[in-house]
Structure formats: structure tokens, C-alpha cells
């Protein structure tokens, strides 16, 4: 039955779907657990989307240290490994030759930032201090986004909804880590 805890009154159907009978009071309860690593992936995904999103007035360069602090260990290992180093090198070479599109400057900056970050900074990852710094960066970006939008209705318009949801996500995840 997995995560599904069957309560009194639920009846299995031939298709395997649990349905409530008429007059019963409880159907079922679902319990899920989201790991810290999954939340880190969601945070980095939201920050990456925010790097490329239009419709926001934030300083996107603040996303670089946020990603460095919140990225899962797999991402950091890849960036610090041979493939990441070669990717950063080729991106920097393209940037020097003026062939790099503007949308790729922040991902390249993130790779370079993580690649050359001192040992003490990278050891900060996963601690309460990094969560507090991430929350401060995310709160500042949320403040910039919502004051730049003017009001909540404009922040939820078609052009800004992706940026708004990403901002909310990168703000909530460090808050959850703090609790």
C-alpha cells in the first residue's frame, strides 16, 4: 500500500483505486516525506529558472552565491570535477571571444564561482550559517521582486508568474531548513 494508510470505510475497487462508500466518514490519509536533498534540487532548479526568467527586476547576480550555498553535493562535485572544469574553461574561452549569449553569463559565473571557491566557503554548505545567508539573499531578492512589481496582482501576471513562483520557492526552502 506504500504511503497510503487505509482508514475505516475505504473500499478497494477492481482497478486498485480506493473509493469512499456512501455515508462513510473517512477515506484515507496520505503521508509523504521530502528529503533535504530533494529540497536542495528544487531550490537550485528554481534559481536556475529565475536566472533565465523574464518579468522580474531582481539583481540576478545574487543567485550565484545562493546556488553555491544551496546546491546538492552532486552538482558541486560535477562542477568541481573534470567535466565542470572543462565546461567552465570552454565557456570562459567563448566569453573572451564574444560568442557567449547573455543568458549564459550567469550559469558560467556560477560554475566559475563554485570552481574557485575556497575550501572554507564550501565547508559552510549544509550548516545553519549557510541557511541563514541563503535566507537573507532570498528575502532580499523577494523584496526586490515584489517592490519592483508594484503589487501582488502584477507579480502574478502572465509575464511574471514564473519568476514569482521561483522567488517563493527559493525563499521557502531555506526557511524550512531553518526550522
- Write out pLDDT tens, residues 81-117: 999 889 888 888 888 887 777 778 888 888 889 988 8
Is residue 86 domain-shared with residue 124, that is, in the same domain?
Answer: yes
Question: Rounded CA gap, 157 and 146, in Å?
Answer: 12
Contact, 33 vs 46, CB < 8 A? no
User: Three-class SS of residue 19?
Assistant: strand
pLDDT value at residue 4:
42
The residues, any chain, with a CB within 8 Å of residue 26's CB and separated by 6 or more, are 7, 8, 9, 10
Is residue 146 domain-shared with residue 82, that is, in the same domain?
Answer: yes
pLDDT value at residue 122:
86
Is residue 103 domain-shared with residue 142, that is, in the same domain?
Answer: yes
Domain count, the chain: 2
Helices vs strands, H then E, count in the chain: 9, 4
Q: What is the pTM of this model?
A: 0.73
In 3-state terms, the chain is what percent helix, strand and coil (to 5)?
65, 5, 30
Q: What is the pLDDT of residues 115-154, one digit of tens each?
A: 888 888 888 888 899 999 999 999 999 998 888 878 777 7
Work out the average pLDDT over 56-77: 89
Is residue 102 domain-shared with residue 134, that is, in the same domain?
Answer: yes
Q: Cα 24 to chain center, whole Å?
A: 41
Higher-confidence residue: 7 or 105? Answer: 105
Work out the average pLDDT over 164-173: 91
Which region among 14-18, 107-111, 174-178 has the lowest average model confidence (pLDDT)? 14-18
Is residue 10 domain-shared with residue 61, that is, in the same domain?
Answer: no
Is residue 72 domain-shared with residue 9, that is, in the same domain?
Answer: no
Is residue 45 domain-shared with residue 84, that is, in the same domain?
Answer: yes
Domain that holds residue 161: 36-178
Contact, 56 vs 155, CB < 8 A? no
Is residue 92 domain-shared with residue 142, that is, in the same domain?
Answer: yes
Question: Rounded CA gap, 167 and 164, in Å?
Answer: 5
Is residue 40 domain-shared with residue 27, that is, in the same domain?
Answer: no
Is residue 20 domain-shared with residue 62, that is, in the same domain?
Answer: no
Is residue 8 domain-shared with residue 51, that is, in the same domain?
Answer: no
Mean per-residue pLDDT of the chain = 80
Element spanning 142, H or E = helix 128-149
Is residue 56 domain-shared with residue 12, that is, in the same domain?
Answer: no
Burial of 92 (0-12, 13-18, 19+ CB in 10 A): middle
Question: Rounded CA gap, 95 and 91, in Å?
Answer: 6
Amino acid at each position: 500500500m506504500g504511503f497510503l494508510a487505509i482508514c475505516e470505510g475505504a473500499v478497494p475497487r477492481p482497478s486498485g483505486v480506493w473509493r469512499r462508500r456512501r455515508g462513510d466518514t473517512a477515506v484515507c490519509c496520505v503521508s509523504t516525506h521530502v528529503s533535504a536533498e530533494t529540497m536542495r534540487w528544487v531550490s537550485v532548479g528554481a534559481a536556475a529558472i529565475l536566472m533565465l526568467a523574464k518579468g522580474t527586476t531582481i539583481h540576478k547576480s545574487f543567485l550565484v552565491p545562493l546556488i553555491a550555498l544551496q546546491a546538492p553535493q552532486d552538482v558541486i562535485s560535477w562542477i568541481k570535477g573534470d567535466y565542470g572544469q572543462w565546461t567552465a574553461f570552454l565557456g570562459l574561452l567563448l566569453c573572451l571571444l564574444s560568442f557567449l549569449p547573455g543568458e549564459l553569463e550567469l550559469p558560467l559565473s556560477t560554475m566559475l564561482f563554485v570552481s574557485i571557491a575556497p575550501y572554507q566557503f564550501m565547508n559552510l554548505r549544509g550548516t545553519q550559517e549557510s541557511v541563514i545567508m541563503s535566507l537573507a539573499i532570498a528575502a532580499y531578492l523577494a523584496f526586490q521582486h515584489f517592490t519592483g512589481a508594484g503589487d501582488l496582482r502584477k507579480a502574478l501576471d502572465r509575464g511574471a508568474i514564473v519568476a514569482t513562483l521561483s522567488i517563493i520557492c527559493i525563499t521557502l526552502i531555506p526557511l524550512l531548513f531553518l526550522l
